Amino acid sequence: MTPTYYLLLSALLFSVGAVGVLVRRNAVVVFMCIELMLNAVNLTLVTFARINGTLDGQIMAFFVMVVAAAEVVVGLAIIMSIFKTRRSASVDGANLLKY
Amino acid sequence: MSALAGVLAQAPLPVDVVSTGEAVAFWILGPLALAGALAMVFARSAVHSALWLVLTMLCLGALYMVQQAPFLGFVQIIVYTGAIMMLFLFVLMLVGRDSADSVVEVLRGQRVAGLVAGLGLAGLLASTLGRALTDVTPVGLAAQNQRGGNVDSIGRSLFTDYLFPFELTSALLITAAVGAMVLASTSRDRARRPTQRGMMEARLRGERASPLPGPGVFATANSVATPALLPDGSVAPESLSEIIDSTTRESLAADVLSVSGAAHQADAHALRGPEAAADEAIGRPPGEVSPE
């Protein structure tokens, strides 16, 4: 076994997250799938840090976590305000810009 | 003995070998993480999705620790599963916990296309990574983690080489906090709500200072459809309902007659019975038993 297996695992997790973003309708679940994709990329960064023998990948993963935390806070606030005005958390409901 | 230990500790490991324990951990945690991710995508309830994602993130945190990144592993567990996922659960409880996904397909065939695209992406990524990284020998982080451990090395790097990005994240975090407060605040616009003084002035300077008559005053019914009658028997025009226009003058004729005194007067003793009326007629106080 080599660390390549970690990369394969993260590729699979990223694909699962992408499928979730494409398939699910609930905005909160779509957001959770985005978090899963970010986590998969973090696993890739940690594995590459190990392969390269430097800590830069781990620090990059740390920054990804910080940005993800900020993104989650703002995104969930947006979902809540959309829910307050539309009484629905479905991503199909918000289509006012369509026409 | 101690010299030998020192030499062993300082000897840099040129090639990182995956130990058996790590392989066991990977083959337990990896499929568990993948199963959690799949269950998250295909779970019906959004709360179940969040809990499956917690499982995946816990497994990933353990995998970070296995991969010589204990600091990131703990940050993953504390920040992601402890803070972010609980925030998700809070929002799920506030927002549609029971709002299931709509089964109506707005774009026809989108789900099938999404599944096919996901499978294609997985195949592409896996085959590319598998072919590109066949003869890669990992260096390993033993040398990096030697001086004071992983946390010490990350801290030194963070506050020297990455100081400016680290300072920038503080601006990002405070912007996110302010943005969330602005977006999610529920306080209504207080400037538009009239004060008590404003309401009083508007009332006294308006057309009518006294309150409007309630429905059915002096009439026999309390319904909104029954307008109020003035003491002389006429219908108070302010109490006519604008919404209910089925109120006719004819249906109020009996009320108008009784209020104006033209009709038969109501019997004051109707509720007390004829005996009380007889008592009152001979001047005896009510409640006293008659002597016979």
ipTM, two decimals, is 0.93
pTM: 0.69
pLDDT digits 0-9 by tens, B77-127: 999 898 999 999 998 888 866 555 666 677 788 889 999 999 999 999 989
Does the beta-carbon distance from B67 to A46 stay under 8 Å?
A: yes
Quote the tokens at residue B172. 């990002």
Contact A52 B139 (CB under 8 A): yes
Output the pLDDT for position B99. Answer: 58
The closest CB to that of A74, out of B76, B122, B180, belongs to B180
pLDDT for position B14: 52
Alpha helices in chain A (DSSP H): 4-23, 27-52, 56-86
The owner of tokens 């007629």 is B281
Q: How many Å lie between the alpha carbon of A10 and the closest alpha carbon of chain B?
A: 9
Chain B neighbors of A85, CB-CB under 8 A: none
What's at B106, amino acid-wise? V
Count Cβ atoms below 10 Å from residue B271 Cβ, excluding itself.
7
Higher-scoring residue by pLDDT: A29, B274: A29
Residues of B in contact with A64 (CB under 8 A): none
pLDDT of residue B56: 95
Residues of chain B with pLDDT below 70 are 1-16, 96-104, 187-191, 213, 215-220, 241-252, 260-292
* Cα distance between residue B115 and residue B35, in whole Å: 16
Write down the pLDDT at residue A39: 95
B33–A9 CB contact, under 8 Å: yes
pLDDT of residue B49: 92
Q: Quick one: pLDDT at residue A66? A: 93
**CA dist list (Å): B233 to A54, B218, B249, B252:** 97, 8, 12, 10
pLDDT of residue B292: 45
CB–CB of B226/B252 below 8 Å? yes
Q: Which residue has the tokens 């392969």?
A: A51
Cβ atoms of A80 and B179 closer than 8 Å: no
